[in-house]
Chain A
Amino acid sequence: MRRLLVIVGLIVGIVLTLSAQYQDRFKNTWIEPGSGVTLPEFDAFDSVDGTVGVLNASGPVNTEGNPFFTALGTNGRACVNCHQPTYGMSVSTSGLVERWRTTDGKDPVFAAFDGSNCPGLPQEKESSHSLLLKRGLFRIPLSWPPKNADGSLKPVEFTIEVVRDPTGCNTSPQYGLKSADPTISVYRRPRPAANLKYVVSGGRPIVLKTGTLADLDPETGNPVSMNLMTDAREPSLKTQAVSAIMGHEQAHEAPSRQQIEKIVEFESQVYVAQQAHIFGGPLAAAGGPPGLGVAALRDRKAGVLGDNDYDPVFGLFTAWKGNDYYRASVARGADIFMFRQFWLRDAAHINSIGLGNPMKRTCATCHNAQMTGQDLSAGWVDVGTTNYPTWTEPSTESSELPVFKITCNRDADPHPYLGRVIYTTDPGRALISGRCVDVGSIVMQQLRGLSARAPYFANGSAKTLREVVDFYDRRFDMKLTDQEKEDLINFLGAL
């Protein structure tokens, strides 16, 4: 008994020592627009169980006057409000809750336009910002029907009805579907403004998943990756920046060309990855897995397919096999990600593009782009998070998100696995393409810096990585053991 107590005491001592070691480095630094701080070349911030690294590859960044850090619109917001280095260049609910508390809800991140459930709600009430505070979701108002770049209406293949409207925005006479400017409000997480060379690479003239032309960069005329944003509605970082300033920042005048170039210049040199683990220590040490840490992201080539066994998506983890508990677990998780077979079924734009339904494959089949785990081709997929019956909401009646009923026209191709009537909390790509087959398809996200930016999925439904893994386990009947789940979580958390 005494011996057991000694062992327990030793373990507690080691944990406390390690915790203290990393606690010294823990910090949460919310950057306000116009604060004029200088970002160091490398910085590390507190994440769930370690530190997330942020690398400015071009050296220290003086934010004074930098348009990424400057409010360019009318609501006091800058890009940095929703893309904080502390939170892996996105923003977490823990950070938002803390921000609400310290500013009494006055921070511009809570702007009525999209930082609340609907602009018409009483803004001083916390409940009016519940989707942002509980799930990290910003309101994304999208015109319906969708429009072409020249303002003409796109043809659409379905009708859309609002079945449930917990925020009141979709049925609002002022902001809703039947308003003077018909609009659909969906609620989505901000994606990390980092590691972007990987996100924008891989543009090909014809989109594999649709057999149609890829969108073009309006400046260069080149086809784009169509992997930006939840629905690929903006073709380039520049157009995305303009759209964000006119929308999220509520600017009345378009930003200057120079401002946009400065924003893209900053975004394009920021790299984010988990850097250290509370028990595992530094993750990017020499001799370890080559894909971990921010320097690897800076140095590796973008646009490389990693769905192979010789140079896999996040590199080989051989060096950590049989290592200490944490590292061995991460290495097993990497093997599960790359090699654990399961039946991928009923996923539109995966099974439906000639691969068969079901198909026996692995996570890396879809998450195939080296270093980020996005899809190397245009990456929208209906993995089932937003569409009934696999959606993440408990039921229609208790959904925190709006529920829409989509009815496909008779002459259109139906959704390949849900048919002609679909209930969804977010039609995803279909709100841009107008196509029934796209209902519920969401562009895959990069898998880096995850520990710093919970919650997960575009709809913020997974509070933890455990909930992400549980969703996939349930959705694809993967039959993961508890050990396998833990290994996958440790692996994802190390990215």
Chain B
Amino acid sequence: MRHAKRRLGLFILGATVALGQQRNFVSCPIVRDTKTVPCFLAEYEGETYYLGIQQDITSDFHPPQLKHEVLVEGRVAQGPRVCGGIPLQPVSISVLKEVNLACNTLLPPEPGIEAPPAPRGPGPSSRRPEGGPEAGSAPRKPVAGRQEFTVLYAFNDDYLEYAANQVVTEAAAYAKKIGASNVKVSGYRATSLLSNGDRLVEKAGLAEKRAQSIATLLRGLGVSRLVVESKTEAEPGDGQTDPSRRRVTIVVSP
């Protein structure tokens, strides 16, 4: 009965959240255990939002962490609640660096709350290796000429996540393949406009640090003729596309 009341309450609150509405906020994440993989949630203004489920390192979604607040930047998506939360999709997750011991909520499984189907469960993987990295996927279009690669970061972070690692590797391979005459690496830092009107600005020096670390990687991967630059000022936030501005661009010219 209590669960039913709670869900009804959540439903009513959820009705005030419009489809497509942007939700940018900082809060403690909540981990919801289920029969399969855990769900990651966060609360904002009395509403619970679903962020994603536990996956592996190659997943697009990298879950938040207990003991840390999380910056959530996502759009309210269509569809029913997931794991008790309104789904945000796309959603960007940035784990804030400082430890916050108050972020420690791990909820037990509850009847009726199930995680969406997971490509990988909590045990060992059942997926057998495919024929190669390209197996099963459509053949890539040959690329030529000037190409731009974008490496994205979490807020205030210069850690290169798995997907970003792949982008750098791809950029290096392309530069070497075409014998690039110029590889321009540009670092940026950005501002996040929160739903409550606050602005979070990435720390000074981060743009240069990001650019230099990418340049170091490219050199290590055998790329030469690098031009490295960084923008000192943080780019302004619009509350819609802010995660896309925490970046390094790599422009490879023939």
Binding site for B on A (CB under 8 A): 205-206, 208, 210-213, 307-310, 312, 338-339, 341, 343, 345-346, 351-362, 364-365, 411, 413-419
Contact = CB atoms under 8 A, between A and B. Distances in A.
B221 A205 contact: yes
A90 to B, nearest CB: 29
Contacts of A355: 54, 56-57, 62-63
A307 B160 CA distance: 24
A411 B209 CA distance: 12
Interface stretch (B177-185, B212-220, B227-235): B212-220
A378 to B, nearest CB: 13
Interface of B: 31, 33, 37-38, 40, 54, 56-57, 62-68, 97-99, 106, 122-128, 159-162, 164-165, 168-169, 203, 213, 216-217, 220-221
B213 A356 contact: no
B155 to A, nearest CB: 13
B169 A205 contact: yes
Nearest to A213: B220
B62 A360 contact: no
27 contacts: A206-B165, A208-B57, A211-B161, A212-B216, A213-B217, A307-B124, A308-B125, A308-B127, A308-B128, A310-B128, A312-B124, A345-B66, A354-B57, A354-B63, A355-B57, A355-B62, A356-B65, A357-B65, A357-B67, A358-B66, A359-B54, A362-B124, A364-B124, A413-B97, A416-B99, A417-B67, A419-B99
Contacts of A346: 67
A352 B161 CA distance: 11
A416 B165 CA distance: 21
A356 B160 contact: no
B122 A360 contact: yes
B63 to A, nearest CB: 3
A411 B65 CA distance: 21
A225 to B, nearest CB: 16
Contacts of B38: 356, 358-360
A362 B159 CA distance: 26
A354 B162 contact: yes
B162 A208 contact: yes
A307 B98 CA distance: 32
B65 A211 contact: no
Contacts of A211: 159-161, 164-165, 213
Closest CB pairs A-B (n = 10) = A211-B160, A356-B63, A357-B65, A354-B62, A213-B220, A360-B122, A419-B99, A308-B125, A309-B124, A341-B122
A230 to B, nearest CB: 24
A424 to B, nearest CB: 16
Contacts, number: 111
The secondary-structure label for the interface of chain A is loop
Given A351-B65, A356-B65, A418-B99, A362 B123 contact: yes
A309 B123 CA distance: 8
Contact of B124 (A206, A339, A351, A354): A339
B215 to A, nearest CB: 11
Contacts of A351: 65
B97 A358 contact: no
Max chain A C-beta neighbours (<10 A), residue from B37, B159, B216: B159
Nearest to A415: B99
Contacts of A309: 123-126
A402 B125 CA distance: 41
A359 B123 CA distance: 11
A411 B205 CA distance: 10
Given A309-B125, A310-B128, A356 B54 contact: yes
B57 A353 contact: yes
B217 A212 contact: yes
Nearest to A338: B124
A361 B122 contact: yes
A414 B68 CA distance: 12
A359 B160 CA distance: 20
Nearest to B56: A355
Contacts of B162: 208, 354
Contacts of A208: 57, 162, 165
Contact of A205 (B98, B99, B220): B220
Given A343-B106, A346-B67, 8 more contacts: A206-B217, A212-B213, A212-B216, A308-B128, A356-B64, A357-B67, A359-B54, A360-B38
A133 B16 CA distance: 68
Given A357-B66, A360-B54, A308 B124 contact: yes
Contacts of A361: 122-123
Nearest to A354: B62
Contacts of B57: 208, 353-355
Which one of A213, A312, A354, A357 has the greatest number of beta carbons of chain B within 10 Å? Answer: A354
B163 to A, nearest CB: 9
A308 B126 contact: yes
A417 B99 contact: yes
B205 to A, nearest CB: 8
Residue with the greatest number of chain A CB neighbours at <10 A, chosen from B31, B97, B124, B127: B124
B62 A356 contact: yes
A239 B106 CA distance: 46
A312 B123 CA distance: 12
Contacts of A416: 65, 67-68, 97, 99
A415 B97 CA distance: 9
Contacts of B54: 355-356, 359-360
Contacts of A364: 124
A414 B99 CA distance: 8
Contacts of A308: 124-128
Contacts of A415: 99
